[in-house]
Structure 1
Amino acid sequence: MEQAILQVARAIEQAERILVITGAGVSADSGLPTYRGLGGLYNGHTAEGLPIEAALSGPMLQRDPALCWKYLAELSKACLAARPNAGHSAIAELQRRKPGCWVLTQNIDGYHRAAGSPAQRLIEIHGELAPLFCQSCGAEDDELIEHLQRPLPPRCARCAGVLRPSVVLFEERLPEAALGKLYDELRKGFDVVLAVGTTASFPYIVEPVMQARKTGGFTVEVNPSSTDLSRWVDVRLEGKALDVLPALLSHIPEH
């Protein structure tokens, strides 16, 4: 493992453009339940007998906003109850040391920003929980915590429309601005791509890794268990982001 960490650290040190892709596993180290799998926040069906994908979908938010918000509130409370960990901090520090380092995250908890990752080099592909906005009049609302103490769904103070977070629910499209930013950067190419704590089941997670492989870039996976991506990367660092990333950073000198 130490030899592999040194190999990855050398590649990062020599690289100009780096992409760190993060999934639920990074925030799991903060005590936040992962969406799926062992210890997942939702396993199978909701109390109403629905697949969680149906309860947390765009159509459900329109049809039964109270039911959709019941589970959005669970997610929100879990995110608000935890904090960024040493993995998030190590990524933010890597971005400080390497101005060409970008973060693409599937997570909606805002921990990368809280840990100090610069917004201009952070792509939150699934959006973020706060602020909320009104589906009727478009007004922005910063009172997520307060709304979670009130009857759901949360309502707009201006027009009483149903509020929603800027997250991508099931059956909704990814935000065009975030996708545009990602593909703009992919066109420039990356010397190193690290996939951290993600099961890599989406094309926009797999594509950067495969593109880096094709163009001679160096690819790395950090995960406690094997994923669909494992066989495609140059180096696999087995372990939690919380432990692996600070160890990696300790071998990358500041310039």
Structure 2
Amino acid sequence: MVDQALLMQTAAALRHAQRILIITGAGLSADSGLPTYRGVGGLYNGMTDDGLPIEMALSGPMLRRDPALCWKYVAQLATACLGGQPNEAHYAIAQLQRLKPECWVLTQNVDGYHRAAGSPPERLIEIHGRIAPLFCQSCAAQDPELSVHLQRPLPPLCRTCGGILRPSVVLFEEMLPELALQTLHDEMAKGFDAVLSIGTTASFPYIHEPVLRTRICGGFTAEINPVATDHSAQMDAFFRARAVHVMSQLVSHI
């Protein structure tokens, strides 16, 4: 049961806020059937079938050294993403962005569900990239047919030059996408009136920094998570709940 007083307090804060940041993590997509991720993918805990830590198997160096092995785990992640669809909370977030033209989404998720739900790409920061489309590491050609390639021997090959394709996700030991990082820094420099963190432990500095900055500047901060995180006690509002149980109600009051 959602705390109605807390819901109304949060709705009022978002209603009066001009610049809003919504931070989303794997917990948001859990109700779409995706496992909660650890790192790039949380289909994994510890060692892989090949006896390697997932951080090694699903890494940039492994993609270069043994593309077939790396793609074995990329394919598991891709299959999970393609097997689900946006849930009610994704659509509620997109609705909030329609209501608030300066509402941004910063997501760690690579499933592409925010785009599918209608979040405007120009106000969406996919800080870990997204699973599709694929692109060629040799000639940079794009390939939109991820699902087709998953039915074929891996790694997938470019139809233009025969090079090895890869998804636009940030693998372990790779840098964050420069444009996404710059956009985040630019928007943080402008400041936010309110930040809503959903389904993430906010363990990365670039994820919890907007929360800390907003709190220091007197803005409103809220969190939706089934379990408390290191940041929950400092939030103005904490909903111990799943996003699908809160977001639609919340947006209906804005």
Instruction: Name the residue aligned to 2:50.
Output: 48
Which letter does structure 2 place at the counterpart of 1:139? A
Instruction: Provide the alpha-carbon RMSD of the alignment.
Output: 1.0
Indicate yes or no: 2:96 matched with 1:94.
Answer: yes
Q: How many Å separate the matches in 1 of 2:210 and 2:235?
A: 11
Q: Give the superposition deviation at 1:36.
A: 3.4
Deviation string 1:173-220 (CA, Å, 9 cap, x unpaired) is 001100000010001100000000001110011100000011110000
**Structure 1 outlier segments of 4+, above 3 Å:** none
Q: Residue by residue, what CA displacement relative to the aligned partner does 1:20-68 show, whole Å, maximum 9, x if unpaired?
A: 000000001111111139xx51121101111111111000000100010
Taking the TM superposition and a 5 Å limit, the aligned residue runs for 1:25-64 are 25-36=27-38, 40-64=42-66
2:194 is matched with which residue? 192
Equivalent-residue separation in structure 2 for 1:164 and 1:77 (angstroms): 14
Q: What's the TM-score once normalised by structure 2's chain length?
A: 0.97
* Paired position in structure 2 for 1:145: 147
Alignment of 1:99-110 (within 5 A): 99-110=101-112
Specify the code of the residue in structure 2 equivalent to 1:190: F
CA distance in 1, matches of 2:97, 2:43: 30
- 3-state SS of the aligned residue for 2:222? strand
In the alignment, structure 2 segments of 5+ residues that lack a partner are: none
Distance in structure 2 (CA, Å) of the matches to 1:30 and 1:126: 19
**2:171 is aligned with 1:135:** no
Aligned sequence identity (%) = 67
SS at structure 1 position matched to 2:29: helix
Q: TM-score, normalised by structure 1?
A: 0.96
Match of 1:207 in 2: 209
Q: For the residues of structure 2 that align with 1:28 and 1:236, how far apart are their CA atoms?
A: 19
Which sits farther off after the overlay, 226-235 or 90-99? Answer: 226-235
Quick one: distance in 1 between partners of 2:145 and 2:248?
34
Please list, as runs of the form range in 1=range in 2, the aligned pairs for 1:9-28 lying within 5 A after superposition.
9-28=11-30
Name the aligned partner's letter for residue 114 of structure 2.
H
Q: Distance in 1 between matches of 2:60 and 2:218?
A: 40
* Alpha-carbon distance between aligned partners in 1 of 2:176 and 2:21, rounded to the nearest angstrom: 19
SS in 2 for 1:29: helix
1:161 alignment counterpart: 163
* Cα distance in 2, alignment partners of residues 245 and 158 from structure 1: 44
Q: 2: CA distance between counterparts of 1:220 and 1:238?
A: 11
Counterpart for residue 120 of structure 1: 122
CA apart distance, 1:234: 1.2
Q: What are the Cα deviations for residues 154-175 of structure 1, in whole angstroms up to 9, with x where unaligned?
A: 0011111110011000000001
Unaligned segments of structure 1, at least 5 residues: none
Indicate yes or no: 2:230 matched with 1:234.
no
SS in 2 for 1:49: coil
2:225 counterpart residue number: 223
Structure 2 CA distance for aligned equivalents of residues 231 and 174 of structure 1: 29
C-alpha separation in 1, matches of 2:144 and 2:234? 42
Amino acid at match of 1:78: A
- SS in structure 2 of the partner of residue 92 of structure 1: helix
What is the alpha-carbon distance in structure 2 between the residues aligned to residue 249 and residue 158 of structure 1?
A: 46
Matched residue SS, 1:193: strand
1:240-251 mapped onto 2 (5 Å cutoff): 240-251=242-253
User: How many Å apart are 1:231 and its aligned residue?
Assistant: 2.3
Q: Deviations over 1:63-96 (max 9, x none)?
A: 1000100000000010001000000000000000
2:181 aligns with 179
Instruction: Give the whole-Å Cα distance in 2 for the aligned partners of 1:47 and 1:198.
Output: 27
May I ask how many residue pairs the two structures share in their alignment?
Answer: 250
> 1:212 & 1:237 partners in 2: Cα distance?
19
